[in-house]
A and B are shown apart, each in its own frame.
Chain A
Amino acid sequence: MGNLIVNLQLLRKPAWLMVPAAILLAFAFLLPLLSVAQMAFREPSTIGITDGPYTVENLTQAVSDPFYWGVIRNTAVLALCVAVATTILAYPVALLITLSNPRIRNILLILSVSPMLMSSVAQTFGWVVILGPRGVVNTALSYFGVDHTIAFIGSMSGIVIALTEIFLPYAVLAMSSGFGRISPGLVAAARTLGANPVIAFFRVTLPLSMPGVLLSLFLVFVISISAYVTPQVMGGGRVFVLATQIYSHATITLNWPLAATLALLLLAMFGLFTALSVAARRRFSRRGVTQ
């Protein structure tokens, strides 16, 4: 009888329904991640699968070799440029979305967010066509009499431009979700108190938009440091970031321990900035209340 009641309780509150999902993740998510951690501490190899002895050689090599410092710096600089550029470009759009009536807001939101659900490979290809040696920009330049082609592909600039466009939807979403406290009524209040439009923007709208701006900066930064397709294609094999190095060690040199080590480094960067963003947001929202 007691057992029956317990069983009924289980049926009513079926927490065990979460188990299949959890098992799948344990096998295809947790286990693989743990094996990355394990692989990172094996001796370097060139044969893919390896059960070599454990060592910290990869890690010391990765952090002492100036080449990898350069790779890490490239990764950070790239992510920073993309984060700043997307945030600046997305700002007016997100503000317009916040201030518009529901109908316009919906249209703007669909226009600015839908590219997010479209293949990033296809979008990157679009940038190859625009920025390539015989692409839209260089053709236009030569039409205006500039006779040397700008090498966007194979340089940081091309990657930054393409990634800025590809991550723009994320910035718009992050910012408009962080713009909750902005309202036309507050601007109107500032105006009746004697603020001209420019002052009202700098004293009211801009401070209130800071949480959204920070959210966007951090979000785009962390997704940029792990971008692979665009740096690979737009970098033309000449710009090295952590993601491209991980891929080439995993599939070309077959030095899996090194690939795993670089993955750990990337993960560390990722974790560091995610933690920073959480801290900054907490700090910021607290200051927003007490200041």
Chain B
Amino acid sequence: MTVNQRPSEASSLSIEDLVFRYKKADSPAVDTISLSAEAGQMLTLLGPSGCGKTTTLRMVAGLLSPTSGRIKVDERDVTATPVHKRNMGMVFQNYALFPHLTVGQNVSFGLEMKRFPKGERVSHIRLALERVGLEGYIERPTTALSGGQQQRVALARALVIEPSILLLDEPLSNLDATLRASLRDEIRSLQKRTGTTALFVTHDQQEALAVSDRIAVMNAGQVEQVGTPEDIFNRPSTRFVASFIGQANVLDGEIARATDRTAFVNIPGLGELGGRYDTTSGVPAVGEPATVAIHPHRMTLHPADQKERGAAQVISSVFTGTTVQTTLNLAGRTLRIESLTSASSSAPVSEEWVRLEAKPDDAWVISS
């Protein structure tokens, strides 16, 4: 019996109109969110801290009961199912390993709860530890492990029970930067290999973009946008998503004209800026308020004269090796530009006047 390959057994998850209100709180921590993850997918909840990600995850796990709404696994309503009968593996932010048990006993815990016979348990534990690269650690006390190792044990402990859904609550946030990147990729490959459906929570957009099949961007208890990492990055549907992901520059104005592919927005003090838009909702009407989102690395700088229309002044420029990060003042707005360095060109100088350019294909217009 192997627990390795079972995409066919993977479950789907769907959340419908979920609301959670903490006792004595003015506004709900989670406010009517609906999401779904197909079998075998990694769905990520991404948002700033305090936006309700953990609360959502704990409701899915069954550790909190929703104020209203439903949670379904494989179309089966589990909203009223108690935690211990949901069969969901959870990896906690602070690992939550049992300090009185060894690595092996930690991994064994869930199997014992499922009344696996002893002989079978051993082979499962070995396989699970092998998969996270901790073969020789079965007898070790968990207190003698590094942070990364502890998180691997937590992962093995959650996966060994063959959970219908794997829940991960900021599993990497307590690790240092290099370990974070490598463990991130390990989690992703393990999730793909086991074909487990996963709900991943993070406030780190880099992490979310790297591991997810789909991302749900949350803000103040609500879901702002759900989409693939490319969707979220290139085609943000709200101003919040645009500014949260990739720290795009967002410029407000109103629609000047629009073709069937490109909309041109008149930005006060800058002039017209063109960009792609969401064609599924029709051509935006002239005069409608709109926002242009452009990522810092998708704009170029050119020398300009102070009197020129749309000229911006360099506030500061920081050389980081691969790129130069320039902060500009454009008619009272602060913009960030990131440009690749080359051996011949030199970084812009403070107080210098520059002109910005961006290709319409690289900009995105959000009309409201």
B100 touches A189 (CB 8 A): no
A208 touches B99 (CB 8 A): yes
Please tell me the size bucket of the interface on B: 20 to 34
The answer to whether residues A181 and B110 also contact, given A196-B82, A289-B141 and a CB cut-off of 8 A, is no
Tell yes or no: B161 within 8 A of A by CB.
yes
Tell yes or no: A190 within 8 A of B by CB.
yes
Tell me what chain B mostly uses at the interface: helix, strand, loop, or mixed. Answer: mixed
The answer to whether residues A194 and B110 also contact, given A289-B141, A290-B141 and a CB cut-off of 8 A, is yes
What are the interface flags for B64-94 relative to A under an 8 Å C-beta threshold, 1 for contact and 0 otherwise? Answer: 0000000000000000001111111110101
> Which residue of chain A has its CB nearest to the CB of B82?
A196
What are the interface flags for B19-46 relative to A under an 8 Å C-beta threshold, 1 for contact and 0 otherwise? Answer: 0000000000000000000000000000
Q: B210: which A residues are within 8 A, CB to CB? A: none
Tell yes or no: A192 within 8 A of B by CB.
yes
Pick from A188, A194, A288, A291: contact of B113, CB below 8 A. Answer: A194
Tell yes or no: A237 within 8 A of B by CB.
no
The answer to whether residues A193 and B110 also contact, given A289-B143, A290-B141 and a CB cut-off of 8 A, is yes
B63 touches A192 (CB 8 A): yes
Q: Which of A78-86, A199-207, A225-233 contacts B (4 or more CB under 8 A)?
A: A199-207
Give CA–CA (A195, B114) in the complex, Å: 9
> Which residue of chain B has its CB nearest to the CB of A183?
B96
Pick from B84, B96, B97: contact of A195, CB below 8 A. Answer: B84
B88 touches A192 (CB 8 A): yes
Tell yes or no: A53 within 8 A of B by CB.
no
**Nearest Cβ on chain B to A203's Cβ, whole angstroms:** 7
Q: A183: which B residues are within 8 A, CB to CB? A: 96
Q: B144: which A residues are within 8 A, CB to CB? A: 289
Give CA–CA (A288, B100) in the complex, Å: 5
A residues 200-229 in Cβ contact with B at 8 Å: 200, 203-204, 207-208
- Beyond the given pairs A189-B98, A192-B88, 6 more chain A to chain B contacts, judged by CB atoms under 8 angstroms and listed by A's residue number, are A186-B98, A188-B90, A192-B83, A192-B167, A193-B84, A193-B158
13 intermolecular pairs with C-beta atoms under 8 Å apart = A181-B100, A186-B96, A186-B98, A190-B98, A192-B61, A192-B62, A192-B83, A192-B158, A193-B89, A193-B109, A194-B110, A196-B84, A291-B100
Interface residues of B, Cβ cutoff 8 Å to A: 58, 61-63, 82-90, 92, 94, 96-102, 109-110, 113-114, 141, 143-144, 157-158, 161, 167
